[in-house]
Structure 1
Amino acid sequence: MRESIHKYFQVGTIQWMSYPNYDVIDSIRKIARDDYFDAIEITQFKNNETRKQAKGILQASHLKVCYGAQPRLLGPKLNPNDIDETERKKAEETLTEAIDEAESLGAKGIAFLAGKWEEQTKELAFAQLLKTTGNICEYARSKGMYVELEVFDYDMDKAALIGPAPLAAEFAAEVRKKYNNFGLMVDLSHFPTTYETSQFVIRTLRPYISHFHIGNAVVKKGYEAYGDQHPRFGFPESANDTMELLDFFRVVKEEGFFNSAEPYVLSIEVKPWGDEDPEIVMANTKRVINRAWVLLED
């Protein structure tokens, strides 16, 4: 493409993934100073003072602020589709709190993920997830905010109910019957972990996609960084590199997601592995994006 990627996407990064061992304020400041980024994804702050500092940086930055509630669920192992109603409500409660925190930081919505499931209770889990999602969409709607469900693997690592693309489409269709403030977040990192391709996922979920992530995964058992670990592009025995990202861009373009008037967020979800330098990993990712974009036909 001769035109800049920034014409068609708000390029972002996920703060807690990009700089996992940095002080949170230092990492937000680093991202805010980098004009490659148009968006930032943040998560729960542990105290009011840190939240206040972050808010000041974000207000000055002109970054689009996105809020990921996934760590709120994964850390304490909360499950929004838990068949135990008491446990399901705990997940719903933290997601409701996430909406309030996101609003205070200038974000217009939150993203979350489905919880683990068992084959014998799959249909009940689906109903429980609909209940949780409907309730948080209702609450978000009262604030003029949006809710996104990120699609994860269903049997490899996170083992989330949502899940394979066809089930994600079925779920999103059900939610959209009542709530137009709901969408799906899809991640190139996850396509190999669900045994699917960019073309299959994006075409299957076309009406519901509202947010993109890009990254890498190792899906060969027994190899380093196996599962949903988001290693750098070009990691040994991994699934995604420049050509896979180029294929992703081609499909996204073909399916009409290049929107200069209201660009979608396209965030980097890559983290350093072991003792890798996070700034080198970030530079690696930018190089891969830049190369794949330049190879994309106008």
Structure 2
Amino acid sequence: MNEPIYSYMKLGTIAFMSFPAIMNGEGPILETIKKLAEDPYFTAVECSWIKDWTTRAKAAKLLKESGMTVCYGAQPRLLTTGLNINDLDENVRLQALESLKEGLLEAEELGAKGIAFLSGKYEEATKEQSYEALVKSTKELCCLALERGMQVELEVFDYDVDKKSLIGPTMYAKQFAQEIRWEYDNFGLLIDLSHFPLIHEGIEESILPVKDLITHVHIGNAVIDPALEAYGDAHPRFGFPGSVNGQEELVKFLRTLLETGFLNKEKPPVLSFEVKPWKDEEPEVVLTACKRFLDEAWRLV
């Protein structure tokens, strides 16, 4: 592709994955945001919860000054606490929902236009009841978001490997998204290249059925051999030993998104790295390697 990549997308990274020390809502949050805001490669950044309100206010100021598009991932609010948004225990479900509502208001404070989250655990025996609980929670979250002019996105995760989330296979995600969209047009799906191998699907299989429901994308890598390091939803760097998403897969991913019109010049969407340093790998080095990898893939599209 000869045209600049920025003509078709806003490039970002998930701050709490690139720099996992801040995933719990604490740690060097301001330093991390400042570092990303000073990097001209990025025109978007994805943040998450910031527990201290003074730190959050300073982060909001930094983000406003940066001119970057801000996104908010509420996944850590659920994954680090064990909360389940489709829990069949009503008290637990409401706790999870309350946390996501708090996240929505926090996202607004940081300058984000929406919030992304993931479904809770998949259990075959209670699949239908869990689905109904998820519908109930999501509609309530979408209602609050709509009142504030904001978007809600559900990220599609694996259902039987690592996170074992209800949503889930692509066709199930499609069914769910269509049901929510029937009532709330501020809802969409977030898909991640690194999750496709984990849900046992190919690139077109994971994109084409939901092409009109996708509002946000991540790119990353995965290891699907349980005998190897970083197996599961660990988001290792591109080129990691035994990983399955290489240059060919990323090029095909980008081409498919272009062909479906998701990547476009009229309203460029956010595309972010979801790559996490493995063990003692240096976050800055891994992030720079991601940039090189994407730049080369775009040249080949």
The 3-state SS of whatever aligns with 2:172 is: helix
**Residue 28 (structure 1) aligns with:** 33
* From 54, 66, 72, the counterpart of 1:67: 72
Does the 8 Å contact 2:157/2:163 carry over to 1? yes
The 3-state SS of whatever aligns with 2:106 is: helix
How far, CA to CA, are the matches of 2:123 and 2:262 in structure 1? 35
How far, CA to CA, are the matches of 2:282 and 2:290 in structure 1? 13
**Residue 134 (structure 2) aligns with:** 129
Does the 8 Å contact 2:211/2:262 carry over to 1? no
How far, CA to CA, are the matches of 2:263 and 2:17 in structure 1? 26
> How many pairs align?
296
Does the 8 Å contact 1:162/1:168 carry over to 2? yes
Q: Work out whether 1:287 is the aligned partner of 2:292.
A: yes
* From 19, 37, 59, the counterpart of 2:42: 37
* From 147, 155, 160, the counterpart of 2:152: 147
* From 163, 167, 176, the counterpart of 1:162: 167
* Stretches of structure 1 lacking an aligned partner (at least 5 in a row): none
Does the 8 Å contact 2:47/2:71 carry over to 1? yes
How far, CA to CA, are the matches of 1:188 and 1:258 in structure 2? 15
How far, CA to CA, are the matches of 1:169 and 1:250 in structure 2? 21
Structure 1 segment 100-249 matched on structure 2, within 5 A: 100-249=105-254
The one-letter amino acid of 1:142's match is: E
Does the 8 Å contact 1:189/1:216 carry over to 2? yes
TM-score scaled by length of structure 1:
0.98
The 3-state SS of whatever aligns with 1:152 is: coil
TM-score scaled by length of structure 2:
0.97
% of aligned pairs identical?
52
The 3-state SS of whatever aligns with 2:85 is: coil
How far, CA to CA, are the matches of 1:167 and 1:69 in structure 2? 21
The 3-state SS of whatever aligns with 1:210 is: strand
Structure 1 runs (4+) greater than 6 angstroms displaced = none
How far, CA to CA, are the matches of 1:150 and 1:60 in structure 2? 28
Deviation, 1:258, is 2.3
Q: Which segment is superposed worse, 92-101 or 15-24?
A: 15-24
Deviations 1:49-97 (A, max 9, x none): 1101111110100100100000001111111111111111111100111
Deviations 1:249-269 (A, max 9, x none): 111111111221211100000
* Stretches of structure 2 lacking an aligned partner (at least 5 in a row): 23-27
**Residue 14 (structure 1) aligns with:** 14
The one-letter amino acid of 1:32's match is: A
The 3-state SS of whatever aligns with 1:256 is: coil
> C-alpha root-mean-square deviation of aligned residues, in Å?
0.8
The one-letter amino acid of 2:14's match is: I
